[in-house]
Amino acid sequence: MANENHGSPREEASLLSHSPGTSNQSQPCSPKPIRLVQDLPEELVHAGWEKCWSRRENRPYYFNRFTNQSLWEMPVLGQHDVISDPLGLNATPLPQDSSLVETPPAENKPRKRQLAEEQPSGNGVKKPKIEIPVTPTGPSVPSSPSIPGTPTLKMWGTSPEDKQQATLLRPTEVYWDLDIQTNAVIKHRGPSEVLPPHPEVELLRSQLILKLRQHYRELCQQREGIEPPRESFNRWMLERKVVDKGSDPLLPSNCEPVVSPSMFREIMNDIPIRLSRIKFREEAKRLLFKYAEAARRLIESRSASPDSRKVVKWNVEDTFSWLRKDHSASKEDYMDRLEHLRRQCGPHVSAAAKDSVEGICSKIYHISLEYVKRIREKHLAILKENNIPEEVEAPEVEPRLVYCHPVRLAVSAPPMPSVEMHMENNVVCIRYKGEMVKVSRNYFSKLWLLYRYSCIDDSAFERFLPRVWCLLRRYQMMFGVGLYEGTGLQGSLPVHVFEALHRLFGVSFECFASPLNCYFRQYCSAFPDTDGYFGSRGPCLDFSPLSGSFEANPPFCEELMDAMVSHFEKLLESSPEPLSFIVFIPEWREPPTPALTRMEQSRFKQANEIWPWRSSACAPAPSAPPQRPYLGLLKERGPLFVLDVCDLAFLYLEGGRQHDERGGYTVLASSPPLPRPDLPGYDGPLEPPRIPGGAGAGPHPGR
């Protein structure tokens, strides 16, 4: 795991000099030390440490010839090597008597020498005034596992049983690259006001969501005589969060209008009956008969105008007469007759069922509103028990530009209850009060890495398992607990597509992801409270970058996709910086998707390709010219390639000075950086940040 995700400083420097989005200036390799008189302890000398002299800083530093680490302060022995032993299984136990061990203060811990401090200053290029945000209120967590002196990260316990379980948490397959640094620049923002997650609150929320799903099922059955449309409840939650201004991260509580267009549309599509795909002639005949019978029954049981009743009954009787007479009709004849019946009776049936369907949507929303109040009361009671104020005075936000960083919460997190964990083959099972969530061993290790990179208030990993339980439970309730439920909400892209996006376009950020399915460690997700500890930058519609290159693969919700297009066009219109979005959405033409139509007609569109779902998987990669490198992104058949059920639309949107000055020419990540405009906080070309001790940018090693 460590060898795949972390390289030596020499490897990082070489990767940086060739990675997209970086400047073309040469980067030094490992330092060539000037050997001094070695006055180090014998233990440090045997460990590979030697004292060297920095010509640039005119002061000594310490270099390890075994690991290529360089530190300004003298290294401290006694800590384990987190590269070869990230879980500290082979660490030497510290003496029981704390007086025998001298613990350096937090501010005096060895600091890794920054790559920028080793670069010569003769190029005369100024560095951008873009700051890497830090939160001084919480304990800092080093972002690199190669820093000596890092405290041992406590996972879930120190018992022998826990250590045996920890040995099973090494991933066997890696489908992500968490070493790629961000190139997204934002205005500095304050912490979020959402309440921190707690297992007790999440347990109550999950129970209420299950009850709400059951209410929805019963209303559809009792009022309309149908089963709830597949994924309609999940898309209802997605659509409601686009307009919701309430406090709950999952359930809507403050929406206008009350009636959801998404839920209303999907229920109406299944009235009077749900239409399915037909393969055989007898199935088509049976479906036509059921539709005619259901339409007549609905129009007779609802309040409808006399003209509507007359039209529906006449067409139904005509259909029954045709079914009794014609015994040689083909499947196509039955389907044509069904389409004719839908055109004639559909408007009248919909008008008769409109009030009832609106009542279902309104009822579900008001039940959700009551549930949100109960969840909020439970959450505030837990905060009050631990003397944590509900409202925190917002700190003053300085108007400066920073690289994007994970969401921070303003309210302090309460103490977490104990959570049990055990392994079942390659599956990690986490249990709280009898409620179990499961995740594969590989992705549990991924969550551990993301938590280590992003969390700043839990350096000992004492709250890691409870927060993982909350995260998994949240997504389980969002997608549903039924078999294969939630699998049709969002498409996925193969690993080689993300590699190509990063290599060709400098993409380092996903606009619609989660801690479980993200490829980069910079991403936007639906839930800032649970996902912020694992690197989330918050919801995409609340994220406003000024510069960078972004990938967007939104969930299959028309309202959300339309809001995404409005948000992207607003950002492209207002930002004078190089800003681009690469969007992947289904090509839905019957009826056409408003989001796809708007992007195809957008003045920011630079590329638009459609890949047929059958031919794109097997077609070889074409020899595309350099101006159009996107043609071969999905033409390769990777090991994880899964055929989709519809065509895929690829759109490249580009704005800012990059778009205006070059007349829409697509600038690749390998192109020379453009001069920066006169903006507060900028005075040079933009480069990805080099976090002290952070992992290097570039292609994922070992893949």
Residue 219 domain-assigned (yes or no): yes
Higher pLDDT, 207 or 576: 207
CATH number for the domain that contains residue 463: 3.40.50
Verify that 358 and 218 share a domain, yes or no.
yes
User: 513, 499 in Cβ contact below 8 A?
Assistant: no
What is the rounded distance in angstroms from the CA atom of residue 62 to the CA atom of residue 50?
6
**Considering the domain boundaries, does residue 655 fall inside one?**
no
Q: Is 73 left (phi over 0), alpha (psi -120 to 50) or beta?
A: beta
Distance CA 318, CA 341 (A): 10
**377 and 506 housed in the same domain:** no
Co-location of 412 and 339 in the same domain: no
In 115-144, which positions are buried (b, 16+ CB within 10 angstroms) versus exposed (e)?
A: beebbeeeeeeeebebeeeeeeeeeebbbb
Does residue 255 sit within a domain? yes
Which pLDDT score is estimated for 64?
Answer: 85
**CA 294, 295, 296 angle in degrees (round to 5)?**
90
Q: Looking at the domain assignment, is residue 328 inside a domain?
A: yes
Does residue 54 form part of some domain? yes
Q: What is the pLDDT of residue 657?
A: 56
- The Cα 160–Cα 181 span in angstroms is 36
Q: Which two tokens stand for residue 230?
A: 């597949």
The residue-averaged pLDDT of 522-534 equals 97
Choose the weakest-confidence range: 95-99, 280-284, 321-325.
95-99
Could you tell me which residue, 112 or 355, shows the higher pLDDT? 355
Q: Torsions phi, psi of 145, nearest 5?
A: -80, 5
pLDDT band at residue 45 using 50, 70 and 90 as cut-offs: confident
> Among the listed ranges 74-78, 169-173, 639-643, which one has the minimum average pLDDT value?
639-643
Q: Looking at per-residue confidence, does 135 or 321 come out higher?
A: 321
Contact between 651 and 98 (Cβ < 8 Å): no
Statement to judge: residues 428 and 376 lie in one domain? no
For residue 36, being part of any structural domain is answered with no
291 and 261: one domain?
A: yes
DSSP, res 147: -
Residue ranges of the alpha helices (H) in 546-683? Answer: 558-574, 594-600, 615-618, 657-661
- For residue 561, give every residue at least 6 positions away whose Cβ sits within 8 Å of its Cβ, in sequence order, or none: 554, 585, 593, 594, 595, 596
Contact 532, 519 (CB under 8 A): no
pLDDT (average), residues 236-260 = 95
Question: Tell me: the pLDDT tens digits for 270-308?
Answer: 999 998 888 899 999 999 999 999 999 999 999 899 999
The answer to whether residues 427 and 301 belong to one domain is no
Lowest-confidence segment of 37-46, 240-249, 480-489 by average pLDDT: 37-46
Q: Say if residue 493 is in the same domain as residue 438.
A: yes
Do 217 and 311 sit in the same domain of this protein? yes
Q: Which of 71, 89, 109 is the last residue of a domain?
A: 71
CA 233 distance to own-chain centroid: 21
317 and 436 fall within a common domain:
no
Q: What average pLDDT does this structure show over 566-586?
A: 94
What 8-state DSSP symbol labels residue 629?
G
| Residue 529 to residue 409: CA distance in whole angstroms | 7
Where does the pLDDT of residue 163 fall: very low under 50, low under 70, confident under 90, or very high at 90 and above? Answer: low
The pLDDT assigned to 117 comes to 38
Q: Can you tell me the distance from the alpha carbon of 67 to that of 35, in angstroms, rounded to the nearest whole number?
A: 17
More confident residue, 334 or 131: 334
381 shares its domain with 411: no
Task: Please indicate, yes or no, whether residues 524 and 380 belong to a single structural domain of this protein.
Answer: no
- Among 26, 56, 71, which residue terminates a domain? 71
For the chain, the residue count is 703
Q: Give the pLDDT of residue 393.
A: 81
User: Which of residues 160 and 452 earns the better pLDDT score?
Assistant: 452
Per DSSP, the residues of 497-565 read: HHHHHHHHH----BSS--TTT-SSS-B--S-HHHHGGGTB---GGG--EEEEEEEE---S-HHHHHHHH
| CA angle (649 as vertex; 644, 654 as ends), nearest 5 | 140
Question: β-strand 579-586 against 545-552: which pairing, if any?
Answer: parallel
**b (16+ CB within 10 A) / e for 37-63:** eeebeeebeebebebbebeeeeeebbb
Q: What is the rounded (10 degree) CA torsion for 422, 423, 428, 430?
A: -20
pLDDT of residue 170: 73
Total domains, the chain: 3
Tell me the longest C-alpha to C-alpha distance in the chain: 106
81 has a pLDDT exceeding 80: no
Among 671, 691, 661, 663, which Cα is nearest to 577's?
A: 661
Domain boundary among 30, 56, 71: 71
Q: Name every residue whose Cβ is closer than 8 Å to that of residue 36 and which is 6 or more positions away in sequence.
A: 51, 52, 53, 60
pLDDT value, residue 604: 94
- For 650-668, what is the mean pLDDT? 61
Q: Quick one: pLDDT band at residue 611, thresholds 50, 70, 90?
A: confident
Cα distance between residue 171 and residue 396, in whole Å: 42
Q: Let me know if residue 147 belongs to a domain.
A: no
The Cα–Cα gap between 504 and 37 comes to 48
What is the structure's pLDDT at 627?
A: 33
pLDDT at 499 over 90: yes
Answer for the pair 252, 237: CB distance below 8 angstroms, yes or no. yes
Backbone angles phi, psi at 111, to 5 degrees: -110, 130
Q: Tell me, yes or no, whether 345 lies in a domain.
A: yes
pLDDT at residue 110 tops 60: no
Range of the domain at 60: 42-71
My answer on whether 548 and 601 are in the same domain is yes
